[in-house]
C-alpha cells in the first residue's frame, strides 16, 4: 500500500469549523463506505505528521472527499481545513479498514448514531445507500451542539424519506421553536428512534470516545447484540 499524491480539487465549508476537501488521487482503487485514508503532511524541515480520516464520498473514479473538523490544538486538521487551496498536494494512503464498513448488499435495517464529525463515515454509508437506489430501513440519530453545527444539514434533508429517517438532537443550543431532542443521546432516545433490537439491525456508532462509549453501552443494555454494534472512536474532541 503506497503513499499517493493527492491534489486538492476544491474546498467546501460545511459548518463554521468543518470543511470538505475534495482530492483527485490518480490510481485510486475505489473504496467502501466507512473506510479511511491516512493523510501525511511533510514540513520543509522533513518533520512528518500523520492522521487517519474517514472518507465522506462514495466511489467516483479518482475523486476522494474528506470532511475534516478543525481542532484548535490540532497538528494536521487546521492545515487541512484552512491551509489548502485547489492545486495543493498532500500524501494519502488507503483505503484502509474493513471493520467499520457497510455496503448496500449487506441490507438492513440500519441504525447509524453520530456525534459531531463522527457523521462522516456514516454519511458515506447513507450516500452509498442512495446511489444504490436502496430503500432499506435506515435511521440516523445525529447529535450536534447546535443547528449551525449540523454537518451535511441540507443534504440530509434532501435524502430523508424513502426509508431513511434522520433524527437530530441538539445538545447545547436550539433554534427558536425547536421541537426535537435537546439532550445527549440516551437509552430512551435510542428506543424511540429504533429499530428494535429484535429486528437485528446493523448498528454503527461514530464520534468522540466518550460519546461512543455511552451510546454503545446503552445499545447493548437495550438488547442489541454486541457484535452487531460497530464502533469508531476519534478521541476527545468534536461535537456531542
Partner 1 sequence: MDALMLDGNAVAGILQEVFAVEMTTAIGTCNRCGGTDRVGALHVFRGAGIVMRCPHCDNALVTIVEDGTRVWIGFAGVRTLQVTV
- Interacting residue ranges for partner 1, rule: CB under 8 A: 1, 36-38, 48, 52, 93-94, 96-100, 208-210, 213, 230-236
Residue with smaller CB distance to partner 1, 171 or 181 = 171
**Closest to 14 (Cα-Cα) out of 139, 156, 180:** 156
Residue with smaller CB distance to partner 1, 181 or 211 = 211
Give the SS3 label for residue 131.
helix
- Region of 124 (left: φ > 0; alpha: ψ -120 to 50; beta: rest) is alpha
Residue with smaller CB distance to partner 1, 96 or 182 = 96
Q: How far apart are CA 51 and CA 184, in angstroms?
A: 28
Q: Nearest distance from residue 123's CB to partner 1, in Å?
A: 16
Cβ(145)–Cβ(172) under 8 Å? Answer: yes
C-alpha dist (Å) from residue 182 to 88, 142, 163, 219:
40, 11, 24, 19
Q: Nearest distance from residue 31's CB to partner 1, in Å?
A: 12
Q: Nearest distance from residue 56's CB to partner 1, in Å?
A: 15
Q: Nearest distance from residue 130's CB to partner 1, in Å?
A: 24
Q: Nearest distance from residue 163's CB to partner 1, in Å?
A: 27
Q: How far apart are CA 224 and CA 201, in angstroms?
A: 8
Amino acid at each position: 500500500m503506497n503513499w499517493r499524491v493527492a491534489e486538492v480539487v476544491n474546498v467546501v465549508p460545511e459548518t463554521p469549523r468543518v470543511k470538505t476537501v475534495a482530492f483527485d488521487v490518480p490510481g485510486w482503487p475505489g473504496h467502501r463506505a466507512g473506510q479511511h485514508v491516512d493523510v501525511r503532511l511533510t514540513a520543509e524541515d522533513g518533520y512528518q505528521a500523520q492522521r487517519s480520516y474517514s472518507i465522506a464520498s462514495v466511489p467516483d473514479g479518482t475523486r476522494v472527499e474528506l470532511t475534516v473538523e478543525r481542532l484548535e490544538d490540532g497538528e494536521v486538521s487546521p492545515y487541512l481545513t484552512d491551509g489548502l487551496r485547489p492545486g495543493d498536494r498532500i500524501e494519502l494512503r488507503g483505503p484502509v479498514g474493513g471493520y467499520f464498513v457497510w455496503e448496500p448488499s449487506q441490507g438492513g435495517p440500519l441504525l447509524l448514531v453520530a456525534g459531531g464529525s463522527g457523521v462522516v463515515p456514516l454519511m458515506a454509508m447513507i450516500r452509498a445507500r442512495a446511489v444504490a437506489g436502496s430503500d432499506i430501513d435506515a435511521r440516523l440519530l445525529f447529535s450536534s451542539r447546535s443547528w449551525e453545527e449540523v454537518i451535511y444539514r441540507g443534504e440530509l434533508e434532501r435524502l430523508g424519506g424513502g426509508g431513511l429517517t434522520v433524527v437530530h438532537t441538539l445538545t447545547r443550543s436550539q433554534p427558536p421553536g425547536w421541537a426535537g431532542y435537546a439532550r445527549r443521546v440516551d437509552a430512551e432516545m435510542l428506543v424511540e428512534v429504533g429499530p428494535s433490537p429484535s429486528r437485528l439491525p446493523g448498528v454503527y456508532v461514530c464520534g468522540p470516545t466518550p460519546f461512543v462509549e455511552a451510546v454503545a453501552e446503552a445499545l447493548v443494555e437495550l438488547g442489541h447484540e454486541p457484535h452487531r454494534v460497530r464502533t469508531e472512536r476519534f478521541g476527545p474532541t468534536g461535537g456531542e
